[in-house]
Structure 1
Amino acid sequence: MTRASIENLAMLSVALSGLAWGLFWIPLRALDEAGIAGVWAVVLFYVLPTLLLVPILFLRRRQIMAGGPTLHFAGMLAGVALVGYAGALVFTEVVRALLFYYLTPIWSTLLARIVLGEAITRRRWGTIALGLFGLLLILKVDAGFSGGLNAGDWMGLIGGLVWAMAAVCMKSDETGSGADFTLSYFVWGSVAALLLAALPIEGSQAAPDWETIGDVLPWIVPVVLVLVIPPAFAIMWGQPC
């Protein structure tokens, strides 16, 4: 496969993963309705796939341990970023969460220029301009920024910035494996989700009981196997290309 074909496939993988992540709010809201409310829906959304991936984690334990600081730092950043995004979907309006998080191209373009020395093309400048214009609309600049930012808005905004850092970190590691980045991401994402659950965030709920968790497993496991794990593998492979 030629380099151009690999890059086209990588771009397609990233685009499809972004589309899948745009649907995350549906199972998160369904978990909320089923009694797993607030940040605990985010915790389940990360801990469950990590548990399902334990066999692969075991098989690749040596590669993961030998991945060096870049692998684990990128996985930690990616985990924090996507937990922030999921938290934004829980704690603010879906549209606001999506718009704040998907300002990521602005941050990734600027960081790639600063860290990797990549040129900023006219198309990317246009993307940055559109992103900033969208940000101003969200903040209701025409009304004197009266919209304000809530906790979910900040999660989305910070999550997008941290994801840009993770993307640059992954791209700088030419020897990194997409599979190992993904496994590291789920482990660190689980840690980040549990830490988020420990924060005194307004609107957080008590931890669900085991019976409630058992009731949602028959449908959340297939969702995780289709909507969560494959897109993560796809974007962790495609992002560095």
Structure 2
Amino acid sequence: MSSSPAVADGRKNAGQRSAGAKAMLLLLGLVWGLNWPAVKVALSGVSPWSLRTVGLGAAALTVFALGLMRGRKLAVRSGRERLHIAVAGLLNVAAFNILLTFAQLGAATSRVAIITYSMPLWATLFARIALGERLDRVRLAGLLLGACGLAILLLPLIGGGLPHGVLFALAAALSWAAGTVYMKWARLTSDPLCIAAWQLLIGALVALTGLLSFEGLPHWSQWDHLSQRVLIALGYHILFGMALAYVLWFSIIALLPAGVAALGTLLVPVVGVSSAVLVLGERPGMTDLSGFALIFCAALCVLMPAGIFKRG
């Protein structure tokens, strides 16, 4: 029996929404990937604390505005939820973004991007320890590949002492993973858009606190000397790398399964490393590329839906 016109139209609309979400996922990979060299260029004229204060502040305002436009409930009434959102915001947004900024000051952008995207591996390991989540063969293989990739990247540097940028990148990956597992453990019930908006605001307030503590009140005269290249990079970071990217991300996760959305983010380090070569003139060595290949494959293993290789 053929499907009714209503069912057929529903399938057609669902297919169109899925196709649109996948197109947005591709755009997000490009936007977030290009944000890596944009941040590096912006840091040549803007302090890390200023960059994160403005960037996270713009992202928070954008997500709050998106939530209001969609009629979402943005108030968190439960004291328990407020506490857990605050802790997750400190780990997932504040520490992650601030550590990454200082990482880019102390190491090549391509290497920072490669090390940072070990974060799904750490999240898988932390989930096993803290939540008792089981590891199938694919995830165990992913952890092994990731360990080998990090070893290839880090062992040659240990003799002369690991650069601060590398340590900050590793700390950022660990912070993101800890925040992700903490959110799973907390079992938050608030609207995801609400959670994201408040976490971004917490990140912006932490960055502002750092700015006022280490640099004092900002003066507009500090921005007069910025070159056109720095201003373009800063504008890209604020408007595209933060504001647009978060709008795209929350639109995507409303339309696609979380696993598909997570797999789509693997485009980000590929674009990040490639754009660092093209825009910044970086030349990753064979060690970097080998480590990147292993970590990329490892992340692919741990982000795949469980049981994907099992026969039905």
Asked if Structure 1 and Structure 2 have the same fold, meaning a TM-score greater than 0.5 normalized by the shorter chain, the answer is yes
Residue 83 of structure 1 is aligned with which of 98, 104, 126? 98
Unaligned runs of 5+ in 1: none
1:92: how far off?
1.9
Q: TM-score, normalised by structure 1?
A: 0.72
Over the aligned positions, Cα root-mean-square deviation in angstroms equals 4.1
**Among the aligned pairs, what percent are the same residue?**
24
Question: Residue type of the partner of 2:114?
Answer: L
Q: Which amino acid aligns with 1:26?
A: P
Aligned to 2:172: 159
Q: Which runs of 4+ in 1 moved over 6 A?
A: 9-16, 57-62, 205-208, 214-219
* Aligned residues of 2:59 and 2:246 also touching (Cα < 8 A): no
Alpha-carbon distance in 2 for matches of 1:63, 1:240: 23
What is the CA-CA distance between 1:163 and the residue it aligns to? 0.6
Cα contact 1:107–1:164 (8 A) shared by 2: yes
Whether the aligned pair in 1 keeps the contact of 2:58 and 2:243 (CA below 8 Å) is no
The residue aligned with 2:190 is 176
Unaligned runs of 5+ in 2: 1-9, 259-312
| Residues 133-177 of structure 1: CA deviation (Å, up to 9, x unaligned) | 1211222x2x58225223322221111111112212333425232
Deviation of the 1:116 alpha carbon:
2.8
Residues 166 and 81 of structure 1: CA distance in aligned 2, closer, same or farther (over 3 Å): same
- CA shift in 2, pair 1:17/1:163, >3 Å: farther
Is 1:126 paired with 2:137?
no
Name which one, 1 or 2, has greater alpha-carbon Rg.
2
Structure 2 residue 238 is the aligned partner of structure 1 residue 224: yes
Question: 1:94 is matched with which residue?
Answer: 109
Q: CA deviation at 1:109?
A: 0.4
Please state if 1:136 is matched with 2:139.
no
Q: Against the structure 1 CA distance between its residues 63 and 49, is the aligned structure 2 distance closer, same or farther, given a 3 Å change threshold?
A: closer
- Partner in structure 2 of residue 30 of structure 1: 41
* Equivalent residue letter for 2:200: F
In the alignment, structure 1 residue 41 sits paired with structure 2 residue 55: no
Q: Deviations over 1:96-131 (max 9, x none)?
A: 211221111221001222233322122222221222
**Alignment CA distance shift 1:29-1:146 (3 Å):** same
Question: Following the alignment from structure 1 to structure 2, what is the Cα–Cα distance between the partners of residues 158 and 118?
Answer: 23
Following TM superposition, by how much is the alpha carbon of 1:82 offset from its aligned partner in structure 2, in angstroms?
2.5
Larger deviation: 43-52 or 14-23? 14-23
